Amino acid sequence: MTAVDPDREDVIVGELLGAPAYVSGEEIARRLRISRTAVWNRVNALRRLGFQVESHPHLGYRLVRAPDALLPALVSHGLVAEIVGRRILHFEELRSTNDEAERLARAGAPEGTVVVAERQSAGRGRMGRAWVSPPRKGIYLSVILRPAMPPSRTAFLTLCAAVAAADAVRRCAGLRASVKWPNDVRLGGRKVCGILTELATEADRINHAVVGVGVNVNHDPADLRGLEATSLKIESGGEVERVGLARALLEELDGGYAALCAGRYGDIVRRWLEVSDTIGRRIRAESLTGERLEGVATGLDEDGCLLIRLEGGATKRITGGDVRII
């Protein structure tokens, strides 16, 4: 487990990524106001992280290849976000990014902190289910948020995250994902992304929220055997660059969270309805207590709960559990 301090290599990766070819050590040193020895030290630190950096006695440094890893230095390069991703912590392996984010949140980590892992040994989905997390094939990240909203409204966090994931997939893989209430992002009816929102609350306020997002990016069919799931690679026929996708995801999450914090619930519902494939469909819902309901999904209520119209015409509110489109 290596947590990378974003204050260390970030800046220099920025200099190298932004450059057309070689950048002289002197120029980097001047721009970053550090010594040339410090530049050299940081370049070596990057190399240890798997960056291939050429150095030339006269020309300086040139980034040849970045590692296939969701390193803070890479993900945060060019990231346009206010809160989400302010600080990114990267781990080769975690049991679960939500567990680590939860631990950090309790220890006082600031809002917007993102925990990323290349693999999870005990990745979790909703309702205690497992989330398959093979190394370097997916995006497994969790965001710490501290929204000043009543706990009853937190379904919106999940809705926001689902919309953000669908948007990021469209931006980066050109695939039109749809969202099944509350939190499954799907391609052709198969799950490509899941959201696990966990909260620590007092009865009437949220202490912190951890929004976990798992995306099946470059999973091969063998990785997903036996699951009703797919990956961006399977659907698009080619590998998808994870760093760009992670960055897009954080940006979309940030935008959605800003809307939420500003109380623009209507905007979130509107965006969600655009990407949802649930509304207007006949669904079967099973509640957490095992109660079953069947009817037509008609919309969301003010708390983000799903409304369904039953046979007899009555409308019921679904707060959780499993929903199946039939």
Instruction: Find tokens 């000043």 and name the residue.
Output: 148
126 forms part of the interface with its own copies (CB under 8 A): yes
* Interatomic CA distance for residues 11 and 42, integer angstroms: 10
Residue burial 187-209, b: 16+ Cβ < 10 Å; e: rest: beebbbbbbbbbbeeeeeebebb
301 forms part of the interface with its own copies (CB under 8 A): no
Closest CA relative to residue 140, chosen from 124, 167, 117, 161: 117
Q: In terms of CB distance, is 72 or 214 closer to its own copies?
A: 214
Q: Cβ 322 to its own copies, closest distance in Å?
A: 10
One of 44, 152, 298, 315 touching its own copies (CB under 8 A): 152
223 forms part of the interface with its own copies (CB under 8 A): no
State which H helix or E strand residue 254 sits in: helix 242-261
Closest CA relative to residue 301, chosen from 274, 269, 264: 269
One of 56, 205, 270, 282 touching its own copies (CB under 8 A): 205
Q: Rounded to a whole number, what is the largest CA-CA distance in the chain?
A: 80
Q: Cβ 210 to its own copies, closest distance in Å?
A: 10
CB distance 212 to 198 below 8 Å: yes
Q: Cβ 61 to its own copies, closest distance in Å?
A: 45
State which H helix or E strand residue 234 sits in: helix 232-236
* Interatomic CA distance for residues 316 and 59, integer angstroms: 69
One of 21, 148, 314, 326 touching its own copies (CB under 8 A): 148
Sign of the C-alpha dihedral computed for residues 243, 248, 249 and 251 taken in this order: positive
222 forms part of the interface with its own copies (CB under 8 A): no
Q: Which stretch binds its own copies (CB under 8 A): 52-60, 135-143, 149-157, 235-243?
A: 149-157
One of 21, 204, 262, 313 touching its own copies (CB under 8 A): 204
Q: Which of residues 226-285 bind its own copies (CB under 8 A)?
A: none
Q: Which residues contact 26 (CB under 8 A, 6 or more apart)?
A: 36, 60
* Interatomic CA distance for residues 35 and 66, integer angstroms: 24
Q: How many residues bind its own copies (CB under 8 A)?
A: 29
Sign of the C-alpha dihedral computed for residues 181, 208, 97 and 67 taken in this order: positive
One of 7, 58, 202, 225 touching its own copies (CB under 8 A): 202
One of 64, 122, 227, 288 touching its own copies (CB under 8 A): 288
Q: Cβ 305 to its own copies, closest distance in Å?
A: 9
Q: Cβ 204 to its own copies, closest distance in Å?
A: 2
* Interatomic CA distance for residues 87 and 85, integer angstroms: 5
One of 150, 174, 189, 221 touching its own copies (CB under 8 A): 150
293 forms part of the interface with its own copies (CB under 8 A): no
Q: Cβ 183 to its own copies, closest distance in Å?
A: 8
Q: Cβ 58 to its own copies, closest distance in Å?
A: 57
Q: Cβ 43 to its own copies, closest distance in Å?
A: 41
Q: Which stretch binds its own copies (CB under 8 A): 58-66, 107-115, 153-161, 293-301?
A: 153-161
Q: In terms of CB distance, is 171 or 316 closer to its own copies?
A: 316
Closest CA relative to residue 72, chosen from 172, 161, 4, 153: 4
Q: What residues make contact with its own copies under the rule CB under 8 A? A: 126-127, 148, 150-152, 154-155, 157-158, 182-183, 196-205, 207, 288-289, 303, 319-321
